Structure 1
């Protein structure tokens, strides 16, 4: 995951506003009360609050706040996390990551390490709050997956599950699975020399033509064209 991130230490948060990006707020010393979409959230110093893009929120708080803004567009699969505010108790790895980000911010605010730490923190939040059926897709995208299987994981009937899934992600289960497979295929096309046919099987397509059609539908290019495009872009970047 490589997202554009803005990380700062603020000393107050006041008034009602919203952002065109996702924001994570961590009060460092005292509790912070935030009104998000007319619901009150109390965020303790050992907690962090994720506020979705475009969601109105209001606070009247003075004190140190670690603020992490995710300013770049997300992949479809990331949007699962972002429908509602999330308040998370910082324990284990999440607490360690926030402490490491804070320490790095003090020593070298422009350090690239902060961005790597934040990317890892974000991936942990995504992992911890993704519904079981969506985690199943992420782990088993190379297998035949039916909507019935996914609905059973969530203990929903298929009709309700389709509606619930679209509410969670903005897309149907079939489209989400396709995007997941194509993202994995893109990684393999970039980082390996496996043939297109081999990669098709690795990401769950038994037929090369079906894989190519799905890949073009998502990216606008065939797998071969995408690989050639990335190679050309890399050569241009190196030459510059």
Structure 2
């Protein structure tokens, strides 16, 4: 069979009994009606129609649907996939909703593969450039107290596994990643505003300016006041 013809975009329904398997291709699942329970080694997800999920090749997973259901499925051969993809859980924003609509249109015309190939390449590119939801959450809330359990729950991972997964995704621990975001924001505020140390420390989530100063010195080896003077010349 021609490699292009291995691309599959179609509607499917699933039974109430758990089924365990894996496949040697990537798969996007878009619930259209009902829900889908999925269990992986360190992750449990219940998908509903306002969400979608990507399964990488070779990942063992249990799945079932306990209600009347219909799903749009895109099976993607490995030649279309970037290396080292991980499972990804996503809420349908405007872009993913548009992708689902276009895939539904392609599913109505399975004989025309050229548009499906182009759309699949776009989807896999988006897979590479999209942040997992917990990392998006960190970027939106890094000035607030965050804990590992909250972040792991966003990805539906066990907290212990989440730490390993996060390091693989970013090359940093959660603590290091948060610290880098806060440090970059502190530097930006020091150089672009005339705010006091108290106001900056409060803005990026420190209880007081003393703790902020100690933290800043530990990273930059100069006080925030001196950093401002040296870099505003």
Q: TM-score, normalised by structure 2?
A: 0.49
Larger radius of gyration: 2
